[in-house]
Amino acid sequence: MTDTKGKVVGINGNMVSVEFDGNISMNEVAYVNVEGKKLKGEVIRIRGNVAQMQIYEMTQGIKAGDVVEFTGNLLSALLGPGLLGQVYDGLQNPLPLVAEQAGFFLERGVYVDSLSKTVKWEWTPSVNPGDTVLRGDSIGSVPEGPFTHKILVPFGFLGTYTVKEVTPAGSYTINDTMAVITDEKGTEYKLTMCFEWPVKRAVDCYAERLAPTETMVTKTRLIDTFFPVAKGGTYCIPGPFGAGKTVIQHTTSRNADVDIVIIAACGERAGEVVETIKEFPELKDPRTGESLMKRTIIICNTSSMPVASREASVYTSVTLAEYYRQMGLHVLLLADSTSRWAQALREMSGRLEEIPGEEAFPAYLESYIAAFYERAGYVRLRDGSFGSVTIGGTVSPAGGNFEEPVTQATLKVVGAFHGLTRERSDARKFPSIDPIASWSKYNGVVVEPKVAFSRNVYKRGVEVNQMMKVVGEEGTSTEDFIYYMKSEFLDYVYFQQNSFDEVDAAVTVERQNYTFNKVLAVLGSDFDLEDKDSARTFFNQIRQKFLDWNYIEWNSADFKTKEAEIDALYASKKGTLQAEAAALLKDGE
């Protein structure tokens, strides 16, 4: 705490106006003393000697004249070993420990240490006296779950430092001194296993920021092949309520080709948050065979916290992601749902009496959203290793309207757009990503010319389907009807996936390429089909064989038997590859 004090002079919802005497700064943390409790808040505007603070607790009982104590510290996250497997609120309070102290209904003003001060970690130093280090460099490591957790020089240490002392290998707590370093003036600094970092300040201790080009494999065919995401890239999943945004995030978090998953439930409904907290410890990590929770961090808001805490949870989660990236790990951050965060910004903007933008959102909404997604990235660290933060945010536009401000602001900055539709969701198509409206700027697991060919076939089939709704099937030519059947075939056997089937739930890159070539051969072939009935019969048969094929273990005897049945059915209708499809398949060999 500093000597700066203040007193409450106004209350408007969870915004409190404070008259202060001394020096304070933007984003500084302060506590309001009310009814024997200290309620945490953050300075969001300063006008003369009056500061507006957003309080991260219910403000009931606060009255004019209540004392406010300023800490002199910015809203920060505590970084160190022990973060993995935790369930935090937006202020990085471990919710299970808070519940132990506060009971079933969480009391306000209860703050618990983010990391245990008693757990001992097996320390192994990696520097020696006389070595020089910079901020973000590793001075040693401890094992944390399946990873090696590097102990880093705090990110706020500017300049070059010389290692004076190093603690020998052994078991220590996070507050024990691991090394002593000196700056150019000879001033000594003791380094422990943990340090704090302001959550609204991006971590930039890497050597170089690189363009995201490596595909982040999710093992979901529609995403990896048609709308891929890159490691270090960004993507958004907008869609109406109940369209499957949370399910896609859960599937991605389990199967994505990343080291660590951070889930920021910055505005999700309580039932789904509880489901996440209960399910993740029980989910089996396909990489390690252990609980998925061992490489996951969940940050969510409790029902007793006002909407302002949604903003804190967003920034806390991305700060933790950047911290693990600095260790050379690949991190996936899933924010669900950023619409709630935007609504919190709108609420606070209204209380600050700012000039509103479109739909009463603040005029700076786009810059806030852009600043959040820009903290993603693929980086090269000074030791030559690489790390990444990939950010995927869901958006919940009212009625599935993608033209609303939050969705549009997000689309301007992300690299991939996975738009969910009510129509596909109601048809029980998973994932319910619209193959026409969605897009991606990244490279997928299948070469683009093949994807473009199949996409054109699908689009033409959809156009035929729309036409048939007007003129009927009898008003459609057999050629057009075949395009419609091909588009339905592609939709059912490749776009859709069964997340409850052990085999089909997660499809490897090798299998995706192999299956796609088979699908492409069907899409790019002419068949001996006399009329619409024969076309319908053939495509229904081959579609079912492909669906059965998807559920069979890769490269097993049954897999090859079913493939032979597909080839035989293909040959029975004298399937002949078109020139363009033949060239694409030949180039892919």
Residue ranges for the binding site for ATP?
A: 239-246
For residue 362, what is the DSSP state? B
Q: Helix 309-325 crosses helix 365-373 at what angle (to 10 degrees)?
A: 30
Is 65 in contact with 10 (CB distance < 8 Å)?
no
In terms of Cβ atoms closer than 10 Å to its own Cβ (0-12, 13-18, 19+), residue 63 is: exposed
Bond prior to 431 in cis (omega within 30° of 0):
yes
82: left (phi over 0), alpha (psi -120 to 50) or beta: left
Q: What are phi and psi of 291, to 5 degrees?
A: -65, 135
Residue 371 parent element (H or E): helix 365-373
- Distances in Å between the Cα of 18 and the Cα atoms of 75, 152, 193, 204 are 18, 37, 36, 34
For residue 167, what is the DSSP state? P
d(CA 493, CA 517): 13
Q: What are phi and psi of 97, to 5 degrees?
A: -70, -35
- Classified as helix, coil or strand, 190 is strand
- Distances in Å between the Cα of 45 and the Cα atoms of 15, 60, 357, 564, 569 are 11, 22, 19, 69, 70
Residues in contact with 230: Cβ distance below 8 Å, sequence separation at least 6, in sequence order: 212, 213, 214, 215, 216, 378, 390, 415, 442, 443
Residues in contact with 433: Cβ distance below 8 Å, sequence separation at least 6, in sequence order: 222, 223, 227, 248, 418, 419, 420, 424, 495
Kind of pairing between the strands at 260-265 and 330-335:
parallel
Residues, the chain, total?
589
- Distances in Å between the Cα of 212 and the Cα atoms of 253, 318, 376, 447 are 19, 18, 10, 17
How far, in whole angstroms, is CA 194 from its chain's centroid? 25
For the beta carbon of residue 74, count every other beta carbon within 10 angstroms: 18
d(CA 447, CA 225): 8
Residues in contact with 461: Cβ distance below 8 Å, sequence separation at least 6, in sequence order: 483, 484, 485, 486, 487, 488, 490
Residues belonging to the binding site are: 239-246
d(CA 438, CA 229): 12
